[in-house]
Amino acid sequence: MPTGVALRDVRQQLFDAAERVLLRDGANGLTSRAVTDEAGVAKGVLHRHFDDFDAFLAELVRARIARLDGRAAELRGSAGTGTVAGNLTAALLDLFDPVAVAVVSLVIFRDELRARLREDRPAPGVPVLTQAAGMITAYLGEECEMGRIAADADVDALALSLIGGAHLLYADREAGPPEPETVGKLVHAVIADVVQRRLL
């Protein structure tokens, strides 16, 4: 590896390599050797920048969670525009990209990784999915305040239903991702009552 490469560049190179390995080989195939081989660097490079492999994986997942924070602001900003179902469908299609689905599998697969992530953000559930549910809850809260869904809507339960249902649709890596229409059908089924009762 050339000398003088910035630390951030090395970290990103390793993260990108880890994502490619995850997509290709799944959580079982993600090892420090697989990552460094994929990145084209010596194995010691990873351990120079991270305490151990789980510390590396935790940073990889934290970077994914940080992306959710940005997407959450965008989704909340869409409240009051378009349709609630359309906004939620677009958000779920964006949330469950192939890397995100693979990262969730990784978090479920590795107990130590889950424990490290919960040190940052103690919350029940699976890290990444928990943050995604929070993003949906915040958006639904905005729509509730604007009167576009029923005032008594249980936005927490709706968000859990949407994230859990979408995860089930995306979880089978062999079948490939669901069609957007399938995700839209799920969204309509989950929110139909609170949208309809708003009109009564």
Residue-level pLDDT at 2:
46
Give the number of other CB atoms < 10 A from CB of residue 15: 18
| Delimiting residues of CATH 1.10.10 domain(s) in the chain | 1-49
Q: Which of 88, 91, 84 is nearest to 67 (CA)?
A: 91
Is residue 182's pLDDT more than 90?
yes
Give the number of other CB atoms < 10 A from CB of residue 62: 16
Give the number of other CB atoms < 10 A from CB of residue 107: 22
Is residue 200's pLDDT more than 70?
no
Give the number of other CB atoms < 10 A from CB of residue 172: 11
Using alpha carbons only, how large is the chain's radius of gyration in Å? 19
Q: Which two tokens stand for residue 142?
A: 């905005």
| Delimiting residues of CATH 1.10.357 domain(s) in the chain | 61-198
Q: 71-114: per-residue pLDDT in tens?
A: 999 999 999 999 999 999 999 999 999 999 999 989 988 888 88
Pair 93, 156: CB distance under 8 Å? no
Task: Find out if CATH 1.20.120 is the number for domain 61-198.
Answer: no
- In one-letter notation, the amino acid at residue 73 is A
Q: 135-179: per-residue pLDDT in tens?
A: 999 999 999 999 999 999 999 999 999 999 999 999 875 778 899
Q: Is 123 helix (H, G, I), strand (E, B) or coil?
A: coil
Pair 136, 170: CB distance under 8 Å? no
Helix (H) or strand (E) holding 124: none
Q: 40-76: per-residue pLDDT in tens?
A: 999 889 989 899 999 999 999 999 888 888 899 999 9
Task: Find out if CATH 1.10.3470 is the number for domain 1-49.
Answer: no
